[in-house]
Amino acid sequence: MANPNNIGDIVATTIENRSKKAADNITRNMALLNRMSKRGNIRPFSGGTNIWQELEYAQNQTAMFYSGYEIINVSPSQIFSAAEYPIRQAAVAVSISGLEELQNAGAEQMIDLVAGRVKNAENTLRALIEQSMYSNGSQPKEINGLQQLIAANPQNSVGGIDGTTWQFWRNISFGSVTDGGAATTSANIRRYWDTIWPQLIRGTDKPDLIIVDNLNWRLYNESLQPLQRITNAEMGAAGFQTLEYMGQPVVLGGGFQGYSTDPVPTGGPPQGYTWFLNTNYVHYRPHRERNFVPLNPDRFSINQDAVVKLIGWAGNLTISNRRLQAVQYPS
């Protein structure tokens, strides 16, 4: 009689059944992705050698006042371009040994064993992606992180566009010591933020998410009088610790970030960092066919009694307007 525990099918089916949940969970377990999901800014792509992010970089050059029969400028205006981002890949392995298959001979026992390992693998892969979302781009294989997209040095190159050359491609940057004159404290943090905020307003366009590290969360919280502590109901309902500034959620992006001995490095915002994000222009771009899905075929070890199934993801974090974003950093 055939063994009812077709391990490859069980692992694959378990991953497939959980893949949509995993892809959706990542939008609820990180404030940035939660907000982008609500704005419809999670934009899967289907193929190509890179991810192209359209952007508007200039005004129409033909706008003018005129009088009577004066000739109106109808010259074409080049106003659109695109930033180019590499496709990044990530994977995690779910392994089952022959002995474990024998020890969990019942179909339900095997499904329970596999489901637990798949859930753990998803959480680990999600932690890897979330950790990379705050990165500075120094690791060649990881996705673009906020330290790179919205940088303390805004003249850096992002998406193949050089901020040194193109002024429109520089985010707002505020150093607490460099620009504010002193390290951030509960006495000056709101003054620093009040300096940053007006630079990010364009009509009705404004930041809709402020992500802070543990230190700035404490300092901002201490700066508020008890009766002024207003939490954001929408982000709070999604499970995030929030306050408000200018009517927008101030979200704790730090919290517990794991241990230094974990395979996935500890992440979250670096100490003393705050990002003011307009999530209309920040995009999570997973590949349609590689968003927490099982990779085929099964991997059988040539010298071990074991089977391995990979869970895969591909995509990147992109930005289409840097000028309406800001970062506060400690130095």
Q: What is the pLDDT of residues 228-252, one digit of tens each?
A: 556 666 665 555 667 899 999 998 8
Checking if the pLDDT of 78 tops 70, the result is: no
- Out of 24-38, 136-150, 253-267, 293-307, the most confident range is 136-150
How far apart (Å, rounded) are the C-alpha atoms in residues 25 and 34?
9
Is 239 or 211 the better-scoring residue by pLDDT?
211
Residue 92 inside a domain? The answer is yes
What average pLDDT score do residues 121-135 get?
87
How far apart (Å, rounded) are the C-alpha atoms in residues 252 and 32?
11
CATH code of the domain containing 164:
3.90.1690
Residue 43 inside a domain? The answer is yes
Residue 4: its pLDDT value, please?
39
How far apart (Å, rounded) are the C-alpha atoms in residues 280 and 295?
32
How many domains does the chain fold into? Answer: 1
Residue 67 inside a domain? The answer is no
What average pLDDT score do residues 11-32 get?
65
What average pLDDT score do residues 218-228 get?
80
Print the domain residue range for 252.
Answer: 7-57+84-329
Residue 63: its pLDDT value, please?
83
Of 222, 154, 213, 150, which Cα lies nearest the Cα of 190? 222
Residue 9: its pLDDT value, please?
58
Residue 75 inside a domain? The answer is no
Residue 104 inside a domain? The answer is yes
What average pLDDT score do residues 38-58 get?
83
Question: Dihedral of CA 153/159/160/165: which sign?
Answer: negative
Q: Which amino acid is at 178?
A: T
Checking if the pLDDT of 5 tops 50, the result is: no
Residue 232: its pLDDT value, please?
66
